[in-house]
Structure 1
C-alpha cells in the first residue's frame, strides 16, 4: 500500500509515517524488539512450566497484555501503596475476549468452570462486554486457553496496544426495530485482524464499536472508531462512521466523518482507519498516543481525506447523521419482544459483579427455558435471548436468586463500577463493594425514584467506568487527615451524558465526598433535583444549570 508522506512536523511525534521508526520510549522499544503476539508460546513452553519467577520483565509488564493478562494488586494493600514498585501480586487478571458480548450457554458454562477451577470463583462483566477473571496462576494459563479455545473463545489482544474486544449491540440480529445487523462485519474484522501482526503494534489501545440498533447502545461517542446504524435516503441501511473518541484524564468525544458505509464495506473502512492510527499515531509520548489526539489535531475532514486518498483509494458516499430519540434507554434491561416473536430478558447485576457459581446457574436458567444464547452488554448487564414469551416472567423471578434483577430500581439499573482497589494496581479506592452498598442504601431511602439516574464509580482518574459521562461521576482519591492517616474520597462530576444530549460532566469547585458519605450525598442531591426540576427535565439537564450550592 502506498502511503502519502505527510509534511514534516516541527516536533517529532514518533509517527511511522514521518519516516523514522526509532523507538522514542520503552514501550515502543519492547514492541519493536519482539512482536507481542510471540509471548504466547513462551507462556506455554517456558513460564507456565518454570513459574512466575522465570518471566522476563518486558514480557510481564508489557507483552503479557496482548494475551489478556495483567498482574493484579497484592491482597490487603490499600490505596496508599498505589504507585509502589512491589504492589504487583504473582497472580493475574485474565480478560476473556467476547466480541459483541455474544456467547452461547456452552461458552458461559466453560467460563464458569474455569472461574471455579482456576480463578477462585471470580467473574466480572466489564463495560466492554468481556468477562474478567482474577487470581489466575501462570501455571494454569495454558489449560485455561485450551478450554476457552475448545469453545471458540480466547484472550488474545483483549488488552495491549492493539485492537481490543469489539463492542457491538447485544441484541444484534434480534431487535425488532434494528436498522442493520453489524454482526457479519464484526466477525470478519475479528477473523482477519485479531492476532494478526499487521495491527499488533499500534501506538496505544484501540477500541472499536459496531451497532445497527436505533438506541445507540455502544457508547460510540467515546470509542476510537464506531459504526452506528443509519438509513440513507437513497441507499438504505448502513453505518455512520465516528472516529477519535476516548475518556481518561483528557476526555474527547468522537467526530463524524460524514460518510455512509454499507455493512459489507465496514471491514475495509475499519482496516483503513486502523492503518491511519498505526502509521500516523503519536508514539513519542504514551499520554498522547491515543487516536483521539490525532483526530483532534487533524479534524474530521482531513482524516477522511487521508482515509480515502491514501488507504482506500476511493471516495466514500456522504451520509446522514444517526439520531436517537430523547430519553432512549440504551441498556436493554427488561423483557422485550424480538423480531421473531420470542423475547429477550435483560437483567442487572450490581456493577457487573458475577461469580463462577452464578454463571453456572445463569446457564441452567437460560437452558431451562430453551435458550442457548446469552449476551453481556456495554452497560455491565446480562441478556438471555430467544425466550418463549410465556416463560419470561418466571425466568425473571428465577434470576433474582443469583442477584440478576429484570425490573431493577433506577439505582441498580444505572450504576457502573470499574475493578477498583480489590484487584487493580492503579486504583486508590474500592469500587465494587462501594457500589453495592450505595445502591442498597439508596433503594431503601428513595425506592420509588422513576427517572434515569446513573452513578459511575471509578477507583482512579482513568475513567474505566466512564465517570465523565454519568449523571454522577465519582473519581476515587485519597485524602490525608489531620492524624496522618488517609481516607477514601471521591471527586464528584455531575451532569455528563451520551446519546441525544452528549456532554462531559460538570466539575463543581472542590466538590469531594468521603466514601462513607456517598449514600447521604446522593440522596440529598436527588431530593434537591426532584424539588427543583422543570417538567420533563433530566437530572443531567438540571445539574448543568443548578447553582453550585445546590450540588453540595
Structure 2
C-alpha cells in the first residue's frame, strides 16, 4: 500500500498551552506576560517620582506607560481630536494623549468628609475639576499630568488614600455594602473581612501578577448590593440553619464581550474565614488561570471549563487547610438594590442616599459636599455600585435640612426613576476603546426623559456603553445601549430587559439607533410598556413577552 492510500490516522493536534503556571510553567506566552515577569507594575512608582515627573511624558518608556502604569491607578486618556471612527483604525498608542485618568480606590466604598474634600482639592488643582464616581465605588479624575503625580500621591497618602492597584492584573477595589454595620436589614457585617484583605493580602506581593484583573465583593446586606453575579469572587450574606449568619461564595462572573454570571460554590463561610477563602481563590487564579490569550484570561473561563465541583475540590484540597461547610442556596433579591432615600439604621439613627447624575461631579462640588457633611456632624460617607453617595448616622431631625443642603450642591435626594437608574461608562471623552460619547449623552437623555415622561413608578435601569466591553453593564440593564457607529453617526445597539441574576438583555436582530434618535426611541418603548403592562409587571418582564414591533 502506497503512502498516499494509507489508512493510518493522523495524530491529534497537540493542544496549545494556556500559560497556566502550575501546568505549563512560567515561560511567558505573550508580551504582556513577559513585561509583568521582568518587573511588576508597582515597580514603576519610584520611576514616576525620580524620573518621569521631572523629565515629562516623553521620558516614559512604552512598557511602563502600558501596562505597568495601570498598577499605579493610571491610564493614558484619549486624544480629544480623534472621534469614534478612529477607535478601530488606530492603535492605542496613536489614540492616547499626554494626560492620564487617575483612579482613587475606596475599598468597601468607605470615605470620610475630609478624604472627600482632599479628592475635591486634587480635582480642582490638578484635574481640571473632573471627578466621576464609578460603579466600583471609586472616584476617577482626568487631565492628570505626570509632573503632578508625586504631589498628588503625597496628598492622598497623607489622608490614608491610594491609587495603587486601582487598575492592572491585580485585585481591584474590594466592593462592600455601603451600609455595612449599620443597616437595619443587614444579615452580617462584612467590613472586618474587607479590612483583613486590605491589611494582610492586598500588598503582600502574592497578587501583583495575576492573569487579568481580579474583581471581588463582600456584602452581608439583604439587598445584595454589590453586583455579586458579575464579580470574579463575591461573598453575600447567608443564614445557615445550624451555624447562623455567614456568607455564600460565588465565583466566575464577568461581563464584557463574553458575559457569564458567577456560580454558587454551595458553601457557607463564617466571617473569620472569608479573607482566607478570598486569598485562596486568588491563588488558584494566579496558578491555574489562562495567560496565553488576554481575552480568555479572566477567572470566569477557568470556572466555566472546570465547573464549580472541580473548582471547589481544588480550592479545598490544594489551597485551604480545612474543607468548607456546605451551605443553603441564597434566594435572589429582585427588588431595589440601591440605597436612595431615607433608611433606618439599627441604632435608631438614619442614613440618606442621594444621586449625582451618572456619577458626574466636580472638584468644587466634592468640597461643598464635604462641607455640608461637616456642618451636620457626619463623619462617614459611602460610595455605591450605583454611583450614589450615602450619608450615615443622621439624626431624624436633620434629615430634611441635610437633604435640602445636599440638593443645593447638585445631589438629587428624590431623583426620578430615569435619573436614579441611569449609568454610563467614561465614553469617547476620555476612553481609547470607545466609539461614542456616553456621559454627556446620558445627562442630556435624563433631562429629556423627565421633560417628556415626567417619571415612572417602577425601576428602570438604562446603561450607555461606549464600546462592547460593557463597563456600564449593558447586558443586565432594562435598556442597555452598546456604542457603535450607526449609519455614519454615533449610535447604539439596543439590548432590552436585562437584570442581574435573572436574564441577559434581549437583542433585537439588527436593531440600532443613532444618538439623535435615542430619546424618541426610549420614550416610544416606555410608553408602549405603560400601555400594555399588567398589574405589578416590571419593564423587564414585559420585554420578555413583547413583540419585536413593540420594542422597535
1:273-322: CA deviation from partner (whole Å, max 9, x where unpaired): 01000011010000000000000011111000000001003210001122
- Quote the residue 1:6 is aligned against: none
Secondary structure of 2:246 counterpart: strand
Matched, 1:295 2:303: yes
| Structure 1: gaps (5+ residues) | 1-8, 481-485
1:433 aligns with 2:440: yes
Match of 1:491 in 2: 493
> Would the aligned equivalents of 1:72 and 1:423 in 2 still touch at CA under 8 Å?
yes
Q: Distance in 1 between matches of 2:352 and 2:42?
A: 38
- How many Å separate the matches in 1 of 2:433 and 2:396? 45
Tell me the residue number matched to 1:76.
Answer: 81
Could you say which residue in structure 1 is the equivalent of 2:285? 277
Q: RMSD over aligned Cα, in angstroms? A: 1.1
In structure 2, the partner of 1:318 is 326
Structure 2, unaligned runs of 5 or more = 1-13
What does the per-residue CA deviation read over 1:60-100, in whole Å, with 9 as the maximum and x for residues that have no partner? 01100000000001123211121413210000000001111
- Give me the whole-angstrom Cα distance separating, in 2, the residues matched to 1:381 and 1:313: 39
* Aligned residue pair count: 536
Counterpart residue number, 1:384: 391
After superposition, what is the alpha-carbon deviation per residue over 1:218-256, rounded to whole angstroms, capped at 9, x for unaligned? 000000000001111110110000000000000000000
Per the TM alignment, residue 203 of structure 1 is displaced from its structure 2 partner at its CA by 0.3
- SS across alignment from 2:513: strand
Q: Residues 25-424 of structure 1: matches in 2 within 5 Å?
A: 25-83=30-88, 84-85=90-91, 86-326=94-334, 328-424=335-431
Task: Please state how far the C-alpha of 1:448 moved relative to its aligned partner.
Answer: 3.2
Q: CA deviation at 1:402?
A: 2.4
Match of 1:545 in 2: 545
Residues 68 and 96 in structure 1, CA contact (< 8 A), matched pair in contact too = yes
Please give the per-residue CA displacement for 1:151-186, whole angstroms capped at 9, x wherever unaligned. Answer: 111011010000001111011111012111101100
Query: Is this contact kept in 2: 1:335–1:406, CA < 8 A?
Result: no
Q: Alignment partner of 2:482: what SS?
A: strand
DSSP 3-state at the match of 1:416: strand
Q: Distance in 2 between matches of 1:343 and 1:154?
A: 29
User: SS of the counterpart of 1:62?
Assistant: helix
Moved more, 274-283 or 186-195: 186-195
Give 1:537 shift.
Answer: 1.1
Answer whether contact 2:345 2:351 (CA < 8 A) is retained: yes
Aligned to 2:5: none
Contact persistence 2:369–2:406 (CA under 8 A): yes
Query: Which of 1 and 2 has greater Rg?
Result: 2
How far did residue 401 of structure 1 move?
2.0
Question: Residue 18 of structure 2 contacts residue 24 of structure 2 at CA under 8 Å; is this kept in 1?
Answer: no
Tell me the residue number matched to 2:482. Answer: 475
Measure how far apart 1:470 and its partner are.
0.2
CA drift of 1:365 comes to 1.1
Tell me if the contact between 1:420 and 1:431 (Cα under 8 Å) persists in the aligned partners.
yes
Is 2:229–2:253's contact at 8 Å kept on the other side of the alignment? yes
Query: How far off its partner does 1:403 sit?
Result: 2.1
SS of residue in 2 equivalent to 1:165: strand
SS at match of 1:308: helix
Verify the 8 A CA contact 1:156 1:195 in the aligned structure 2: no
Q: CA deviation at 1:10?
A: 3.4
CA contact (8 A) 1:37 1:197 kept: no
Q: Deviations over 1:419-476 (max 9, x none)?
A: 0111111111111110011111110111131110110110111000000000000000
Q: Secondary structure at the match of 2:51?
A: helix
CA displacement at 1:132 relative to structure 2: 0.1
8 Å CA contact retained: 2:175, 2:217: yes
1 CA distance for matches of 2:193 and 2:424? 30
Contact 1:345 1:387 (8 Å CA) reproduced: yes
TM-score (norm 2): 0.96
Displacement of 1:325 in angstroms is: 4.5
Whole-angstrom CA distance in 2 between matches of 1:412 and 1:479 = 26
Structure 1, residues 116-170: CA drift from partner, whole Å, max 9, x if none?
Answer: 1111101000000000000000011111010101111101101000000111101
Match of residue 515 from structure 2: 515
- Cα pair 1:35 1:197 within 8 Å, conserved: no
